[in-house]
Amino acid sequence: MGWIRFVEGEKKVYCITNVNAAFPIPVSIEAIKDVVSVAHYILVVEKEAVFQRLANDKFCEKNRCIVITGRGYPDIPTRRFLRYLVEQLHLPAYCLVDSDPYGFDILATYKFGSMQLAYDANVLRVPEIRWLGVFTSDFEEYCLPDCCQLQLSSEDRRKLEGILTRCYLHKEAPEWRLKLEAMLEMGVKFEIEALSASSISFLSQEYIPQQIRLGRYI
């Protein structure tokens, strides 16, 4: 099950008020009575560790947003709830994942649906979601230390090559395909946490706000 943090929230009706709170995503969206929000956008993060970092930095409160994590590959309730929020609140949604094949696969699960549950893709996918990062090019742009960068393993390469054959990358997301091809060509990967190498709050104070403000998402 995933977790959600609202800039403000009231548990029973999932209504944003004046409390910075985190709670489990509901198993059934039918249990939700109403959703009212003053958030400006929804941010989906791949990992619970990043979610907790943002919570510690009071990211939601400072940026008026909703942050969700599926703690890796998202389950069905997390994906249904995200789609519900996007449809009900009409907010832009961004996704932040590791710069590696598995991070991208998690991102693709939100946008295009799970390969294992293809029959449910139309009711679970969030086609509006944007890839916020992290990108292979971020490593050099932000002068991250070499110790944070790893070589793609043979398994990583096989997975990446398999992902690149998916038809939606050619028809619906050619820009995403170019980013993946660059990752494969450079042969490197790194985690979201690498952006915090110089400052523990760099991710929340600089990277995410800047990516959104400058429209550096795809």
49 lies in some domain: yes
| pLDDT of res. 4 | 56
190 lies in some domain: no
User: How many structural domains are present in the chain?
Assistant: 1
167 lies in some domain: no
- Residue 12 pLDDT > 50: no
pLDDT tens digits, residue range 162-200? 999 998 998 899 999 999 999 999 999 999 999 998 899
Domain holding 89, by residue range, is 4-135+198-214
36 lies in some domain: yes
pLDDT grade, residue 22 (50/70/90)?
low
pLDDT tens digits, residue range 40-51? 999 999 999 999
By mean pLDDT, which of 17-21, 35-39, 103-107, 151-155 is the weakest? Answer: 17-21
- Residue 218 pLDDT > 80: yes
Q: Token pair of 145, please?
A: 């230390």
151 lies in some domain: no
85 lies in some domain: yes
CATH no. for residue 96? Answer: 3.40.1360.10
| pLDDT of res. 19 | 44
175 lies in some domain: no
| pLDDT of res. 117 | 57
**Mean per-residue pLDDT, 61-76:** 92
